[in-house]
């Protein structure tokens, strides 16, 4: 979790493209951040999201997630 928070801190205020998987729990982290807006900011607020379902073997699959945001200063 510490590494997620370090990356999110580094991205704050910047334009970015962020790749992750649904298994990374970043979605749950963002939901927690949204519920605690008075304590922390959600850098993914206003970002565009693209998802792709990727099959592995058999009936298993995972979701690739790309979040991207252009911050114009």
Average pLDDT, stretch 57-73?
A: 85
Q: Are 61 and 54 in contact (CB under 8 A)?
A: yes
pLDDT of residue 48: 93
Q: What is the pLDDT of residues 5-56, one digit of tens each?
A: 788 888 888 899 999 888 777 777 777 878 887 877 778 888 999 999 988 8
Q: How far apart are CA 19 and CA 16, in angstroms?
A: 10
Cβ neighbours of residue 69 closer than 8 Å, sequence gap 6 or more:
15, 16, 43, 44, 46, 47, 48
4 or 71: whose pLDDT is higher? 71
Helix (H) / strand (E) containing 8: helix 2-11
């Amino acid at each position: 979790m510490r590494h997620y928070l370090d990356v999110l801190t580094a991205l704050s205020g910047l334009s970015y493209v962020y790749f992750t998987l649904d298994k990374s729990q970043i979605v749950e982290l963002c939901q927690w951040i949204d519920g605690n807006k008075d304590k922390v900011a959600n850098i993914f607020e206003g970002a565009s999201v693209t998802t792709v379902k990727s099959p592995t073997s058999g009936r298993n699959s995972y979701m690739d997630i790309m979040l991207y945001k252009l911050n114009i200063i």
